[in-house]
Amino acid sequence: MNELIFQEAYLRNFTESVFKKIGCPDEHAVLAADVLLKSDLRGIDSHGVARLSGYVRLWEKKRINATPDIKIVHETPTTATVDGDAGLGLVVAPFAMKVALEKAEKFGSGWVAVRNSNHFGIAGYHALMAVEKDMIGFAMTNASPLVAPTFTTERLLGTNPMCYGFPAGNYPPVIVDMATSAAANGKLEIAQRKNKPVPDGWVQTSDGQLTTDAHALKSGGSLLPLGSDRDHGSHKGFGLGATVDILSAVLSGANYGPWVPPFVSFIDPLPDLPGAGIGHFFGAMRVDGFRPVDEFKQHMDKWIERFKSAKPISADQPVVIPGEPELEAEVYRRENGIPLVEPVVKDLNELAGKLGVSLLKQQI
Amino acid sequence: MNELIFQEAYLRNFTESVFKKIGCPDEHAVLAADVLLKSDLRGIDSHGVARLSGYVRLWEKKRINATPDIKIVHETPTTATVDGDAGLGLVVAPFAMKVALEKAEKFGSGWVAVRNSNHFGIAGYHALMAVEKDMIGFAMTNASPLVAPTFTTERLLGTNPMCYGFPAGNYPPVIVDMATSAAANGKLEIAQRKNKPVPDGWVQTSDGQLTTDAHALKSGGSLLPLGSDRDHGSHKGFGLGATVDILSAVLSGANYGPWVPPFVSFIDPLPDLPGAGIGHFFGAMRVDGFRPVDEFKQHMDKWIERFKSAKPISADQPVVIPGEPELEAEVYRRENGIPLVEPVVKDLNELAGKLGVSLLKQQI
């Protein structure tokens, strides 16, 4: 597929303009654009500006509130629940992470559950907020139901990502940012666009048969938890997805399981919801709450060096340290621009036309 | 294989006697036996009294200290690092979890990293200590290196289990207790004893070829991370195992990666260790730090009911809620006794003979 390349600042400006046009306060527009751009910079193209029109459609359906009154509704010295007032997750999540950071600053750790929010972009953005302050960061969110628990055919969990971030010394931070399903939905969408089969173990049909048909999800099929089947530990992937759902939503008062409101605007939320919006969960722990930061970073470097030297099966594919490819992409794309595929550019320009924002034009 | 059945109290008494004979203070012997018995009761036969002689062999090698001075060496209001003084993990871990519980009682949450410890039994025991106090419990530990990172052939991580425990209302607590490898080593040992092949995706040979040979581990092979291969998300299993290793050891000052001392006494630890003993990590968060306990439990019950009603692929295999099979085993075995296979009974009686403890005799 043809790609067009845009400089980060140009795309950032465009994205901010869109958020301002739907009524977001300037500060929110800047922050929301920053979260989306971070995803594009880090090479996670499915979670960046490609989703911008999706957020706007939810706003049009009045499912996203452009001027939310985000607030703490319950707290102790180190825990809190935040109500996002149906705001953009891109704005609600950094608010909540800041609360966790402030608590950690004072008491060593801070933990914040969030309800009444929306899609928060990449989990890594929020965990990195802690890592930049020499803290360990946790970020997770539940999401539209697509994944069936082991032994079942019902879509009861989202791809529910979890992220753990650790600062290092001379090396980039270790950022483990992963969906708890065998494959993220974005990978399926790529196969759908190309009409290509997917590996066995990603998807099952509506009656629970394994399939390589990337379109099976559209005919009632479901994604499989990490592990793919019971023999290979799919009950563990299910357990991790359940953990994210409970921490993000049962703990906060958001919707869980099949009641999580769909990200796509053309599917309405179910009736009789048990909670408010979607849920997130964040945590921050000061490294120096456990040992001096310098000592920790020296050992992180030693850990990274030892794992980087792991003997590869094939000389052309060395080990990958979690977070390293994303940082490499970020450095490259800051310099060389962000590639967008043509359908995304077309979609963004339709949005721009509708809202009265200057159209994107290829610069490079 | 023939099984002999023993009443819980009888086996508990035997286990306490063994720990006392190696010089553990009474209180430690009672606690260590409680952790092992909990594993046998919950049906996790690989982590119960079957390991008793392994602990004793480590004590004989002076790698386990029967009279440790376990202490907090670093802390903030909600974080701490505990030095286990080379004690039994079965004793060090509950000490550390109690520190986390006390901090959570006062400040909402408590987080404790542990160094200089040994194998701590099942992670679920420690997480349940929090759950019983209406808290959410976290427990994890690193372990002897057996798992190769994705794309490599080197055993750099243990099966590094993580456990998340959540209290519920009318239902048993949800306990997600899982190795971060595709299969736990115990499952491989069963296949080895029976000379049966294992599923593809559990093990690779020393040069990184997938194999169904359960014995491959003994000839330089390695276990695979959860996900089994890159296409099915083994980089996520690697990321989770890395997370456990970093939280348990890089944060606490224990050994990590290939330096984690082996559980088996006939393999010596590597020279030039970067830390002390093996490491654990524990956490506790008060549920009422986020929302009232009754509200949380009502929603946990609703969550469990909805997931229990998930449409099964096959009528004879319903969905499994994490923690439910273990609780069922516990109820059954408390009543009907704990089965041990003959080789385990023989091993325990050799131990008893050596230490001067009354031999185990089948009662039922």
For strands B203-204 and B174-178, give the pairing: unpaired
Binary contact (A77, B274; C-beta < 8 A): no
Per-position DSSP letters for B71-140, written without gaps between them:
EEEEE-SSEEEEE-TT--HHHHHHHHHHHHHHHHHHHSEEEEEEEEE---S-HHHHHHHHHTTTEEEEEE
Query: Taking Cα atoms as reference points, which of B64, B62, B73 lies closest to residue B117?
Result: B64
Per-position DSSP letters for B289-352, written without gaps between them:
GTS-HHHHHHHHHHHHHHHHTSPBSSTTS----TTHHHHHHHHHHHHH-EEEEHHHHHHHHHHH
Number of domains in chain A: 2
pLDDT beyond 80 at B122: yes
Which pLDDT score, from 0 to 100, does residue B364 have? 60
Note whether B48 and B76 are same-domain residues: no
pLDDT beyond 80 at A199: yes
3-state secondary structure of A162: strand
Note whether A146 and A260 are same-domain residues: yes
% of chain B surpassing 70 pLDDT = 99
Binary contact (A232, B228; C-beta < 8 A): yes
Binary contact (B232, A228; C-beta < 8 A): yes
pLDDT beyond 80 at A258: yes
Note whether A53 and A73 are same-domain residues: no
pLDDT beyond 90 at B189: no
Which pLDDT score, from 0 to 100, does residue A364 have? 60
CATH number of the domain residue B348 falls in: 1.10.1530.10
Binary contact (A227, B227; C-beta < 8 A): yes
Which pLDDT score, from 0 to 100, does residue A195 have? 87
Note whether B91 and B39 are same-domain residues: no
Does A146 map to a domain? yes
Determine the straight-line distance between the first and last CA of chain A, rounded to whole angstroms.
Answer: 17
pLDDT beyond 90 at A187: no
CA dist., res. B237 & res. B244, Å (int): 11
Chain B hits for A286, Cβ within 8 Å: 76, 79
Which pLDDT score, from 0 to 100, does residue B47 have? 93
Q: Please name the residue of chain B whose CA is at the shortest distance from the CA of residue A74.
A: B290
pLDDT beyond 70 at B291: yes
Q: Which residues contact B62 (CB under 8 A, 6 or more apart)?
A: none
Rg (CA), chain B: 20
3-state secondary structure of A33: helix
Q: Chain-centre distance of CA B138, in angstroms?
A: 12
For testing contact with chain A, the best of B109, B134, B280 (most A CBs within 10 A) = B109
Which pLDDT score, from 0 to 100, does residue A182 have? 97
For A14, phi and psi rounded to 5 degrees? Answer: -60, -45
Note whether B28 and B115 are same-domain residues: no
Residue range B94-123: mean pLDDT, rounded: 98
Binary contact (A109, B232; C-beta < 8 A): no
Determine the straight-line distance between the first and last CA of chain B, rounded to whole angstroms.
Answer: 17
Q: Which amino acid is at B245?
A: D
Longest dimension (CA), chain A: 55
Distances in Å between the Cα of A137 and the Cα atoms of A39, A162, B348 are: 17, 11, 45
- Residue A274: pLDDT band (50, 70, 90) is very high
Return the structure tokens found at B307: 């997931």
Residue range B185-205: mean pLDDT, rounded: 90
pLDDT beyond 70 at A57: yes
Does A160 map to a domain? yes
Which residues sit opposite A4 in a β-bridge? Answer: A340
Distance (Å) from the alpha carbon of B39 to chain A's nearest alpha carbon: 19
Which of B288, B303, B320 is a domain's end point? B288
Binary contact (A310, B148; C-beta < 8 A): yes
pLDDT in tens, B17-53: 999 999 999 999 999 999 999 999 999 998 999 999 9
3-state secondary structure of A175: strand
- Domain enclosing residue B34, as ranges: 1-60+329-364
Does A317 map to a domain? no
Residue range A205-231: mean pLDDT, rounded: 95
Q: What does pLDDT average to over chain B?
A: 96
Note whether A177 and A249 are same-domain residues: yes
For A82, phi and psi rounded to 5 degrees? Answer: -110, 135
Note whether B139 and B272 are same-domain residues: yes
- State pTM to two decimals: 0.98
pLDDT in tens, B153-176: 999 999 999 999 999 999 999 999
Note whether A249 and A132 are same-domain residues: yes
Q: What does pLDDT average to over chain A?
A: 96
Chain A hits for B257, Cβ within 8 Å: 303, 306-307
CA dist., res. B338 & res. B161, Å (int): 24
Give the nearest partner residue to A176 out of B74, B239, B252, using CB atoms: B239
Residues in chain A: 364
3-state secondary structure of B363: coil
Note whether A160 and A44 are same-domain residues: no
Binary contact (A107, B251; C-beta < 8 A): no
Which pLDDT score, from 0 to 100, does residue A188 have? 87
Note whether A355 and A278 are same-domain residues: no
Chain A hits for B252, Cβ within 8 Å: 290-291
Binary contact (B78, A107; C-beta < 8 A): yes
Give the nearest partner residue to A151 out of B201, B257, B319, using CB atoms: B319
Choice among A261-270, B30-39, B67-76, B302-311 with the minimum mean pLDDT? A261-270
Does A297 map to a domain? no
Residue range A290-297: mean pLDDT, rounded: 98
For B113, phi and psi rounded to 5 degrees? Answer: -100, 145
Distance (Å) from the alpha carbon of A340 to chain B's nearest alpha carbon: 24
Q: Is the dihedral of CA A45, A49, A55, A56 positive or negative?
A: negative
CA dist., res. A252 & res. B176, Å (int): 19
CATH number of the domain residue A127 falls in: 3.30.1370.60
Which pLDDT score, from 0 to 100, does residue B37 have? 98
Distance (Å) from the alpha carbon of A297 to chain B's nearest alpha carbon: 9
For testing contact with chain A, the best of B250, B260, B313, B320 (most A CBs within 10 A) = B250
For testing contact with chain A, the best of B290, B293, B305 (most A CBs within 10 A) = B290
CA dist., res. B157 & res. B178, Å (int): 15
Distances in Å between the Cα of A215 and the Cα atoms of A144, A150, A186, A224, B196 are: 17, 20, 13, 14, 37
Which pLDDT score, from 0 to 100, does residue A190 have? 81
Which of B239, B270, B288 is a domain's end point? B288
3-state secondary structure of A80: strand
pLDDT in tens, A115-170: 999 999 999 999 999 999 999 999 999 999 999 999 999 999 999 999 999 999 99
pLDDT beyond 80 at A363: no
Does B127 map to a domain? yes
Note whether B162 and B53 are same-domain residues: no
Binary contact (A307, B207; C-beta < 8 A): no
Which pLDDT score, from 0 to 100, does residue B344 have? 94
pLDDT beyond 70 at A102: yes
pLDDT beyond 90 at A191: no
CA dist., res. A249 & res. A259, Å (int): 10
Does A309 map to a domain? no
For testing contact with chain B, the best of A105, A109, A112, A270 (most B CBs within 10 A) = A109
Does A241 map to a domain? yes
Residue range A58-71: mean pLDDT, rounded: 98
Beta-strand runs (E) in chain A: 3-6, 71-75, 79-83, 109-117, 135-141, 162-166, 174-178, 203-204, 210-211, 222-223, 278-286, 338-341
Chain A hits for B147, Cβ within 8 Å: none
Note whether A101 and A30 are same-domain residues: no
Binary contact (A290, B107; C-beta < 8 A): no
Does B207 map to a domain? no
Which pLDDT score, from 0 to 100, does residue B1 have? 73
Which of B236, B260, B288 is a domain's end point? B288
